[in-house]
Amino acid sequence: MTQRNRHRKPSSGSRPTAQLNRPQRRSQPGATSTAPRRRSYISAQPPSQSGMVQRRRNLRRQRGQRLLKTFWRLVVVGAFAGGLIWLMGQPIWLVRSAEQIQIKGNQAIQAESLRAMVPVDYPQSLLKIKPQVLEKALLDQAPLAEAKISRRLIPPGLVIRVSERQPVAVAELARSEMARQASATSDATTAANQKSLDSDRPAPDRPATSSPNEPKSSPSAHSTPPTSKTKSAPFEPTPGAERVLLDATGEWVSLAQYDNPEALFELPSLKVYGMRPEYSQHWPELYGAILQSPVKVLAIDWRDPSNLELKTDLGNVHFGPYGPQFSYQLEILDRMRNLPNHTEADQIAFIDLKTPTVPRLQMKATLKKSDSSDSTVE
């Protein structure tokens, strides 16, 4: 290579050999660069006294403006609330009569009957009315599953949304056990008072001897003969008994609360005789078993607690006292559907399922030809 070529500068398109062979450094992720960074220094002069004073004034003014806004907000909210309370207490926001109560959701119960059950002393301010208290009073009196009461400002009044109970049976109530207990307690108290009066009286003189030939009076001659209670025939209504509508949960409502119920809705076909308050806890299970059974039940006679009687499409059936085996008894009754093929249906008085493993047929007395009236069904 000549001296001339040795001092020639490389062209812009070519790179020196040392630079081409130099290995290039690749930046690894997460690796920090060791190259020194340039730092820029800004020279800050201390603020002047007048600038600091002006800044404090601005801060005080802003703080005062915020406090003033908060104060006026509280004044507006308080004035609005006070005005609303004052406005609610004016005579225009009074419930003056039951006509200002709107009923929604009722189908069978008349709106007038529900309005009469709402315990409101007219006139009454809307602010003093407590919807929760009225709801509880309405549910205690009316056959409702749910009741919601809300206030209405324009026009002033109350809005009641109800959901009625769905009756599943027409029940006939038995005598109240509470009335019987009250009568027994009254009789016991009267007897105790009479015994106390008799003990205070002097005993009458009794004869020392009595003639053996003197006839003794019979106790039954002077005592009052026991009165026989009139018992209604099975599945026959009791005269003077109160009729109620019974739902699936065991709650009932008197038919007297409905104005012409036959015209309002169709009464359930299932009849229950002798319904008692203590039966309510067993009714949901009993009614559920009847719904699941293929046997069609037309009426239930529960007047005798020791013998539950059902009127079915297979005839009258005696189940004995209601218990856990009721569902099994219905299964046995369903297996007896071929009974008319072996025995005339009009000759059977009732089917006895008190012992479900050994069902029995009670034949009618007029068609008995033998001394034994029971026949076992295998």
Q: What is the pLDDT of residues 261-285, one digit of tens each?
A: 776 677 899 999 999 999 999 999 9
User: Considering the domain boundaries, does residue 226 fall inside one?
Assistant: no
User: Considering the domain boundaries, does residue 338 fall inside one?
Assistant: yes
pTM of the complete model: 0.54
> Given 136, 164, 192, which residue is the final one in a domain?
164
User: Considering the domain boundaries, does residue 235 fall inside one?
Assistant: no
| Confidence band for 291, pLDDT divided at 50, 70 and 90 | very high
Q: Which residues contact 286 (CB under 8 A, 6 or more apart)?
A: 322, 326
The percentage of the chain sitting over the pLDDT mark of 70, rounded to a whole number, equals 64
User: Considering the domain boundaries, does residue 310 fall inside one?
Assistant: yes
| Confidence band for 6, pLDDT divided at 50, 70 and 90 | low
Q: Which residue has the higher pLDDT, 206 or 132?
A: 132
Distance, in Å, from the CA atom of 211 to the CA atom of 325, rounded to the nearest integer, reads: 63
Tokens 């046997």 appear where?
295
pLDDT at 362: 85
Please determine, for residue 322, whether its predicted confidence score (pLDDT) is greater than 90. yes
179 Rama sector, left if φ>0, alpha if ψ -120 to 50, beta otherwise:
alpha
Torsion of Cα atoms, 230 then 236 then 242 then 247, to 10°: 140
Of 155-159, 184-188, 204-208, 213-217, give the range with the top mean pLDDT: 155-159
Residue 342, domain extent: 277-376
What tens digit of pLDDT does each residue of 324-354 get? 999 999 999 999 887 766 677 677 889 999 9
> Given 142, 164, 186, which residue is the final one in a domain?
164
> Given 140, 164, 188, which residue is the final one in a domain?
164
pLDDT at 29: 54
Distance, in Å, from the CA atom of 323 to the CA atom of 232, rounded to the nearest integer, reads: 24
User: Considering the domain boundaries, does residue 294 fall inside one?
Assistant: yes
pLDDT at 281: 93
User: Considering the domain boundaries, does residue 3 fall inside one?
Assistant: no
Q: Which amino acid is at 85?
A: I
Task: Look at the chain and report how many structural domains it folds into.
Answer: 2
pLDDT at 136: 92
User: Considering the domain boundaries, does residue 349 fall inside one?
Assistant: yes
User: Considering the domain boundaries, does residue 32 fall inside one?
Assistant: no
Please determine, for residue 203, whether its predicted confidence score (pLDDT) is greater than 50. no
